[in-house]
Amino acid sequence: MITPREPTDLSVEVDLLDGVDVGLRSLFRRLGPIIPADPHVLVTMWPDRRPPTSDELARGIDRLLKRRVLRIIFLAGEPHLTALPRYDTASDGRAGMEHEPAPELVAKGSAPAALGAGAAAAGSTSAEADASAEQMQLELAIDAERERVVLYRVIIVMEVLAALVFARFLWL
């Protein structure tokens, strides 16, 4: 029987968040870039042998949303989760959340040089991720503006039709 873990224990919280993080990335790899934002549904598809409870999963997802590695989008009115580009869903392990210099880069060679190379690599990767995120936001904004344009066009057509009916009622 699965018993809920004590939420006040900080190390347990960190373990839980790591578990949710790894599980979610596995789900993204398996199901694609968009998954339902319903913890009850996600628990049923959980790749781990010991899935978190839906409460734990909801808590973990909230944390990841606050870290801005996940985002909620609405498809047909239903909330779905999508990973921002910074959230590397293509690799295994825990390094995907924040782009940190690879440990072997820091361990080999002289420490300052390795640190510099690692920082530069991390910086460029981070800049690319930022650029990609901005690009995605711009495309989303364009989609939203296009929807507004369509909506206003529909409103104008309706108003013109109403004006024609009105004119006929007044003068004909």
Partner 1 sequence: MTSERDTVRRELRAVASEARWLKRIATSLFVLEVIIGLGYLVVHGYVHLPL
The footprint of partner 1 (CB under 8 A) covers 131, 134-135, 138-139, 141-142, 145-146, 148-149, 152-153, 155-156, 159-160, 162-163, 166, 170
Nearest CB to partner 1, comparing residues 68 and 146: 146
Other beta carbons within 10 angstroms of residue 34's beta carbon come to: 13
Least distance between partner 1 and beta carbon 163 (Å): 6
Least distance between partner 1 and beta carbon 126 (Å): 14
How far apart CA 124 and CA 119 sit, in angstroms, is: 9
Nearest CB to partner 1, comparing residues 91 and 135: 135
Least distance between partner 1 and beta carbon 135 (Å): 6
Nearest CB to partner 1, comparing residues 113 and 157: 157
Nearest CB to partner 1, comparing residues 22 and 133: 133
Q: Please state, in angstroms and as integers, the Cα–Cα distance from residue 38 to each residue in 14, 55, 71, 83, following that order.
A: 21, 11, 13, 15
DSSP character string of 61-106: HHHHHHTTSEEEEEETTEEEEEE-TTS--SS-SSTTSS----HHHH
Nearest-CA neighbor of 26 among 96, 92, 73?
92
Least distance between partner 1 and beta carbon 138 (Å): 5
